[in-house]
Each structure stands twice: as structure tokens, then as C-alpha cells.
Structure 1
Amino acid sequence: MESVKQTRAHVARLDLGAEQVAVLDGQAHTARVPWNLLHEYFTFRQGRFATLKDCDAAIRQARREIDWMGQLPAQAAQAVLKTYRQAWANFLNPDHLATRPTFKGRLRTRLAVDVPQARDLQIKRVNRRWGAVNLPKVGRVRFRWTKDLPGLTRGGPAGRITGARLVKDAHGWQIVFRTQTLIAPRSAVHPGHTVGIDRGITVALALSDGTMREHRPWLTGGEKEHLRRLEKTSARRRTARPKKTRPSGRERRTYDQIARLRAKAKRRAVDWQHRTTTELAGTFAVIKVENLSIANMVRSAKGTIEAPGRNVAQKAGLNRSISGEAWGRTVTLLEYKSAGRGGQVVKVPAAGTSQTCHRCGHREATNRDGTKFACRNPDCGWVGHADTNAAINIKNAVGTPVSGRGDLGVTRSAKRQPPRAA
């Protein structure tokens, strides 16, 4: 059987000087211009969509007429067109929850620059901790070497680097390498057992075998207190600032400190999710999870003027806790990791899993009291952890496979392309 190409991303932190940061910031802000031009040209051109050829010509004309657009490399400008059309394809694809592409504002847009051609990177390993990469119009830059890249190290994974994307977050600039490796197709399914997983807040992941996967708070007590003080300071300064005026330097620095703390919490959460899902995907052949509508679960309880909601503050706190656990990202990681190991992920209906006794099937709302489950059926009377009971119900339920190998998986619909010109 022929090998299969596997595409993955590897993120590494860049070590940049002040001048290099300024150059990348300028390139990223310049990259917003072709995006906004494309959006205007694509959606408002005489009431019909523009063709790919017309969009490409519009970008070339803009680079000729606007001098400062020259600071953005030509290949990065062309990559904006590809990214823009992919955004439309994701929006029109029913398997994605992507929003409709819109104009990019200076303050609310994440800064990013594409390096679509791998030959421009010239990646080399400097020592055990650092590597070096060429960035167009920036120069030679060091990056943290935390994982062997395919095709670059002796004895490392076979494959190649197909490109990269530079992204800026609260901690600075990072590079996302696009890697491609060849893997042999699996001839057999995963040899492990089936497990049901209940996602929660008190217990992050409860398994049907009675074990649990828990984590410490994403921020320490001191970090939480620091974040609380910063949020109070930002609210006070925002209230004191006259309306329709720009934030002062102090206020912006406070926002930057808040963003760094929140980014630190997210980094820790993603790291825990990656390590945990890798362990689960390697242990179990079939992983069953609830088919939750998380977007509906975290909606506000404010209601309307005619019908105001109740317990709004408590619901807001619950929404923050659910969002902090990132249940959807956990399932997404499990899907591709299980599929790569010959396993599968199955989504089952969520109704009644936490109120039904797995032993006798008696369903009653009073069966559950917090984390304790006590069956009210006098002929049963099973008592145990509520999340474990829900996980067993999830394991025993019949659902729909969403990822896997061969006949075990569900073939997702092909991505639809943006509408063509009339």
C-alpha cells in the first residue's frame, strides 16, 4: 500500500530584536490592506463576485500604486489571496463553524504574515536549544528548537517543510512551520478497548473505567490576583477616559499585561490537552464523547427587556468555566490523533447521560447531587461518582463516528468553493 501524506503544524518562538519586531509589525499591518481591498472588490464589485484572476490583478495594481506596500514581500501578498478564498470556503462548508469574512481592523486583528515557499526559509539547527531561519526582508532569525523538523535532522522524521506562517500573540512573534511527512497506512485497527469520556468543570475528563484526568488551575493564586487587579485598573481607566478617545499609554500597557496573563493560561491549557489526548488516543481504540452544542451552552442568560433572565451572574461564571476548559478543542485533538493511530472518535446523544443510572437505566433528575450519584430506584440503589456514571452511559450509547480509519470513519463533505463570477 502506498504511503499517505500527513500535514501537521509546529509552533516555535522567535528570538527577535527591536528592529526586526518593527519590520514584522509593519509587514503584518500592510497585509491587512490587500485583504480589505480583496473583500471590497470581491463582494461589492457591481453586485457580483470577482474572479480569481481579477483579484490577483487588483493586488498587483495596488502594489504598483501604493509605495509603502512594498515592505510586504510579494509572495506574502499573494498568500493573502489564498487565505481570503479559504476563509470563504470555510464559511460555506457546513462542517465548519467559521464566520463570514469581514474587513480587518487595525486593533482587533491578529497580526500574521505568510512565508508560502519553504526554499526561502533555509532552516538550520544552531545547537541543542536553537535553530535559525531566514525571514523575507527581516534576515536571519533564531527560534526555539523544541522538536525535530522533518527532513532537517539525521535520524529525524522523514518529510519536508512546505512553508510557514508568522503569527504574533501577547508573548511576541512565533513561527508556525507547515510540515509534511509520509506515513505508512495502518493494516489493522487500534488494539485498545472502548472508553466513554464525560467532559466537565469540577473534573476535567471522567472516564468510564473509573479513572479521571484532572489539571491544576491554569493560573496560580498570585497570577489570578494580579489579573484581578489589572482588570480593575483597566476598568477604572476606561471609565475615566472621555468617550470616543484613544486609550492612553498606561491603559494600553495594562491591556498588554492582561493579554499576556490570559495567553499564559491558554498555553498551559493547550499543553495539558495535547499531552492528555495523546495518551488517550494511544490507549483506547474507540473513544465516545457527548455531542454537545457548546455554543448554545455558553449563551448569556441576560434575556430581553420584556423577559429578563435570572441568575445572570451565576450563568456568566459557568460560561467562563466552560470556555476555560475548551471542550471542543479536546475533541478536535482526539479526532485527528485517534485517526492517526487506527482508532476512532464517536459522538453520542447527550440527553440523559448525567441523570440515568448506568446499572438499571432509571432516569430521574434527583439521582444526581453535585458530584454524587445515588440511584433512586429501590431495586438498584447504585451510589458512585456522577461523572463516572455519565461516562459509562456515554460508553454504552450508540452514536455516530466522526473520525477513524477505513470503514470506521465518516467521510466529511468536500469543502465548497466561494461563488464564482456571474
Structure 2
Amino acid sequence: MSQGTLVKRQVGHRARLALSPAGVRSADDQAHAARTLWNLLHAWWRMMPKEKRTLGHADAAIRQARQDIDFLAVLPAQAAQAVLKTYFRAWQNCWEGHADAPNFKSRLRTVMSVDVPQGRDLNITRVHRRWGMVNLPKVGRVRFRWTKDLPVGKHASTENRITGARLIKDTLGWHIAFRVQTLQAEPAPHRGPDVGINVGVTVPLALSDGETYEHGAWLTGKEKARLLHWEQRAAQRKQHRRPGERTSRRLHRTYDRIAGLRAKAKRRALDWQHRTTTAIARTYNTVVVEALTIPNMVKSARGTLEAPGKNVAQKSGLNRSISREAWGRTVTLLTYKTARYGGSLVKVPAPGTSRRCSACGRTTPGSRESQAVFVCKNTGCGWSGNADHNAARNVLHLYRMGLALVPAAGRAVVRRAKRVKPATAR
């Protein structure tokens, strides 16, 4: 694609809603109706013969169900049609091998959501520097946090507009996710240098040029104490519950307080990841990372009865630390952000990058003296430096050698390619 070509992009923007108690009940009812409609549609699909599993027969079944079941009427008709289209799309993804077959949605494990397919029904206006107003079907006019400029009013056009939205409920309450269609110019090639990144627990992101990105605790001292208090309170109240007895409302409120604090920590972590990955994508041309198999890295060391594991508690703590850093989400954010600024993200093989010397290229036992220090034990080298930066330099060196992992037939293979060393490389 030539430089300057205009392309359509679909982006999303999520904002917090300020619903009244009546609005919360209305949104909850719509979400439960959408989940029930999905389950009824799935039951209908399993009951009908293959020749009648068509979009027309399913649409007629949904219309009849909305007439027979009263509480399904709280769901807007367009939202019901969105459930139907999403269900059929789920089967298409299954047939194409992209996902598993759709199943029933549980009340406790399903994210509560409602679709607003038509963007023109939203009627978005900005009323304040920090607040906007949106029209939600069968809920009314609702305020939402204005944290990003949206193509509304005189700024909207055929190419730049809001095509729809989805209401999503999480631990912190109801949010709205706008689907925004924009017409943007293809970004020019990035002129920045290449960089290798090593991810870790002590140092979250270490770059090959010596830069590091670190963060503190996601919760303050008082918030940690409060979280520990509610966790202990939940454990105590759970002990008094008899087997098979229904969970009390008091225990449910305790669980909600715990979930709220954990959601606050997760939101702060996500904000740090967005800010950090945006800074990296703006600065560097090619970002090189390790191809880590994170599910294998966080497996339990418990073992079996015949062969019990060792250091199970220590491995559990390491697994929790790795999961909190969310390395996979960092790579996902870097993937689309580097492309947005004209760069690219490349994955290289991970084995040996932390044990190999970046100066002489040899792996000598005992060089990794500690978690933070690397001292090459190879005779004639003796290079020493930060262990995380050493690993990041090895990651970048693998890319400059022409090693890259590319997906092929559902697996990753190594590709060797000749590459001219850039003038900006160190």
C-alpha cells in the first residue's frame, strides 16, 4: 500500500456510564434477557434438523419467543437481532476452526452485555469537559465519562462516525464501548531505531538500549490492608456456611468489595501498559520480543502422588507474579500500536537469551550470578552488566541475524532472511 493511502479503521473506545439505580436495574434486565435469548436460541438450534437451521427460521423463532415470554420484551428488538447475528457468527468461527462451538451461557460466569447495533440511535452530545450524554434504548438519556474525542455532531461524516456500541458490566459498574469507524492515512514508515525487549517480574520491561519501564504496587498501603481485611472476613464467614447452604447476602457483599479492589488494581495496571506501549511504539521502528509460551510457564509444580513436585509454594508465587504482569497483553498492545505508528513487531526464539553473553555470543555456565547481574565467565571476555539488558540485547541480535518466528499452519517456524544492518543501530 502506497504512502498516503486512506484506509478505513475500526477502533473501540470504552467509557464509564453514570446510571441511576433505575437505569442499573433496566440495564441488568436487558443483559439477563439477552443471555436467556442466547440460551433459547442454542436450545432451538440443537432441537431443529439441519435443513431448518437457517437465519430466517431462527428469526421467526426469536419473534415468537418475544411474544410468548414477557421478560424478553425488555430487550430492544435490535439488540435481539444482534444476539441472533452473534450466535450465527459463533458457528461460522467454529466451522472455520477459529473457535470452539458455542454453548449455553451461565448466569454467574457470563459477562453481562447488551448490543446497540445502530450508531444513529445513540444521539451522542458533549455537555461538559468531562461528561457526555448518550441515548440508550429503553434506558433513557445517560451521562458517560468523556475521555476521548468522538466523531459526533459537526465532526461526524460518512467516513468518520460511530457505527454502534455495546453496554458491558464489570466489577466497577456499567460501561459503554463505542465502535468508531475512521478514515485515516496509512502511516509513513517509522524512522526510529530498532529495539529488543526483555520482559520480567522484577523489571517489567528492559530495553536493549538501556531503558527500563518499571511500576510500583497497584494498590496503596491502605488499600492492601483493606483487601486483606475483606479476604479474611470472607474466609471467616465462609466457614460458618453449611454444605449446600445458599450464600448469604452479607458474604456476597464481602465478595463484591474484594472484587472492586482487585478491579481497581487491574485498571491501574492496564493504564500503565497502555501508556508504556504507546511510548515505545512512538519511539522505535521495529520492536523485537521473545516468543514466550506463557501457559507452560505458569503451570503448577504440584506433580502427582507418585511423583510430587518440589518448591510448590515458591513456584505458585512466581506464577502469580507472571500472571500479574500480563506479558501477553503487552505484546498484543504493541502489535497494533507499532502498526499504527508505521513500525512493526517481530518475535524471535526465546531459549538461551538470558544465559548467553551479548558481547561474545557464548553461553558459559555460571555467568548469571544473580537475578540482576550478568558476568560472562568466558575466558577473554569478562563482560558484565545488567542481566535484563543483556537478554534484551540478545533478543535484538537474533532479529539482526535474520531469525524471526512466523506462523505457518498453526505453528511457529523459524525464518532466516538476509537483512541489512540499519544505520541507526548501535
SS at the partner of 1:399? strand
**What pairs up with 1:42-57 in 2 under 5 angstroms?**
42-43=45-46, 45=48, 50-57=53-60
Equivalent position of 1:112 in the other structure: 113
8 Å Cα contact 1:371-1:385 kept in structure 2: yes
Q: 1:73 to 1:156 in 2, by over 3 A?
A: closer
2:40 to 32, 37, 41: 37
Instruction: Provide the rounded CA distance (Å) in 2 between the counterparts of 1:263 and 1:57.
Output: 41
The corresponding residue for 1:125 is: 126
- Quote the offset at 1:363 in angstroms: 1.2
Between the aligned partners of 1:242 and 1:311, the Cα distance in structure 2 is: 34
Give distance in 1, aligned partners of 2:94 and 2:311.
34
Distance 1:393 1:99, change over 3 A: farther
Bigger mean CA offset, 252-261 vs 358-367: 358-367
Matches within 5 A, 1:66-85: 66-85=69-88
* TM-fit CA distance, 1:16: 0.9
Hey, what's the Cα distance between the residues in 1 that align with 2:311 and 2:322? Answer: 17
CA deviations over 1:258-281 (Å, ceiling 9, x no partner): 110111011101111111111111
For 1:147 and 1:16, the matched residues in 2 are separated by 20
In the alignment, which residue of structure 1 is the partner of 2:310?
Answer: 310
Mean CA deviation greater in 201-210 or 226-235? 226-235
Report if aligned partners of 2:373, 2:385 keep a CA contact under 8 Å in 1: yes
CA distance in 1, matches of 2:365, 2:159: 54
Which residue number in structure 2 is paired with residue 407 of structure 1? Answer: none
Distance (whole Å) between structure 1 residues aligned to residue 233 and residue 109 of structure 2: 21
Structure 1 distance, partners of 2:258, 2:317, is 19
8 Å CA contact 1:43–1:49 kept in 2: the answer is: no
Residue 151 of structure 1: CA displacement? 3.8
Task: Tell me if the contact between 2:364 and 2:378 (Cα under 8 Å) persists in the aligned partners.
Answer: no
Instruction: Note the C-alpha offset of 1:180.
Output: 0.8
Output the amino acid matched with 1:68.
Answer: F
**Structure 1 counterpart of 2:345:** 345
Aligned residues of 1:192 and 1:283 also touching (Cα < 8 A): yes
User: Which moves more between the two structures, 342-351 or 366-375?
Assistant: 366-375
Are residues 92 and 147 of structure 1, via their aligned partners in 2, closer, same or farther at CA, if it must alter by over 3 Å?
A: same
SS at match of 2:143: strand
8 Å Cα contact 1:284-1:343 kept in structure 2? yes
Q: 1:87–1:308: structure 2 CA closer, same or farther, 3 Å change rule?
A: farther
The whole-number CA distance in structure 2 between the counterparts of 1:302 and 1:89 is: 39
Cα distance in 2, alignment partners of residues 133 and 36 from structure 1: 29
Which secondary structure state, in structure 2, belongs to the residue aligned with residue 103 of structure 1?
Answer: coil
TM-superposed CA distance for 1:145, in Å, is: 0.9
What corresponds to 1:208 in structure 2?
Answer: 208
SS in structure 1 at match of 2:366 = helix
Matched, 1:5 2:8: yes
Once the two structures are TM-superposed, the CA of residue 110 in structure 1 deviates from its matched residue by 1.5
Distance 1:119 1:384 in 2: 58
- CA distance 1:305–1:58, shift in 2 (3 Å): farther
The one-letter code matched in structure 1 to 2:378 is N
Structure 1 Cα separation of the partners of residues 107 and 189 of structure 2: 49
Tell me the CA shift for residue 47 of structure 1.
8.0
**Do the aligned partners of residues 247 and 223 (structure 1) sit closer, same or farther apart at CA in structure 2, a change above 3 Å counting?**
same
Contact 1:345 1:401 in 2 (8 A): no
- CA change 1:321–1:269 in 2 (3 A) is same
Amino acid across the alignment from 1:399: A
Please, what is the CA RMSD of the aligned residues? 2.3
Deviation per residue, 1:27-77 (Å, 9 max, x gap) = 111111111122333346458993333333332221122111000111111
Equivalent position SS for 1:346: strand
The alpha-carbon deviation at position 190 of structure 1 amounts to 0.9
Report the Cα distance in structure 2 between the residues aligned to 1:45 and 1:326, rounded to whole angstroms. 43
Contact 1:76–1:114, Cα closer than 8 Å, also in 2: yes
Aligned residues: 400
Cross-structure match for 1:400: 405
Find runs of 4+ consecutive structure 1 residues off by over 6 angstroms: 155-158
TM-score, normalised with respect to structure 2: 0.88
Q: Percent identity?
A: 57
Residues 156/341 of structure 1: CA separation in 2 closer, same or farther (3 Å cut): farther
Give the aligned partner of residue 324 of structure 1. 324
Instruction: Give the counterpart letter for 1:39 in structure 2.
Output: H
Gaps of 5+ in 2: 408-414, 416-426
Residues 78, 324 of structure 1: alpha-carbon distance in 2 compared, 3 angstrom cutoff:
same
Q: Give, as a single letter, the amino acid of the residue that structure 1 aligns with 2:335.
A: E
Structure 1 pair 306/200, CA: closer, same or farther in 2 (3 Å)? same
* Post-superposition offset of 1:154: 5.0
1:367 is paired with a residue whose SS is coil
Q: CA deviation at 1:319?
A: 1.2
Partner of 2:383: 382
Distance in 1 between residues matched to 2:27 and 2:338, nearest whole Å? 37
Bigger Cα displacement from structure 2, 299-308 vs 30-39:
299-308
Displacement after TM superposition at 1:218 (Å) = 1.1
Q: Which amino acid aligns with 2:105?
A: K
**Structure 2 CA distance, aligned partners of 1:161 and 1:258?**
35
| TM-fit CA distance, 1:298 | 1.4
**CA displacement, residues 168-218 of structure 1 (integer Å, 9 cap, x when unaligned):** 1111111111101101123x4211111000111100100000110111111
- What is the match of residue 151 of structure 2? 150
Letter in 1 for 2:65: A
> 2:19: which partner in 1?
16
**Once structures 1 and 2 are overlaid, which stretch shifts more, 282-291 or 46-55?**
46-55
Q: Which residue in 2 is equivalent to 1:370?
A: 371
**Which TM-score applies when normalising by structure 1?**
0.89
- Residue 420 of structure 2 corresponds to which residue in structure 1? none
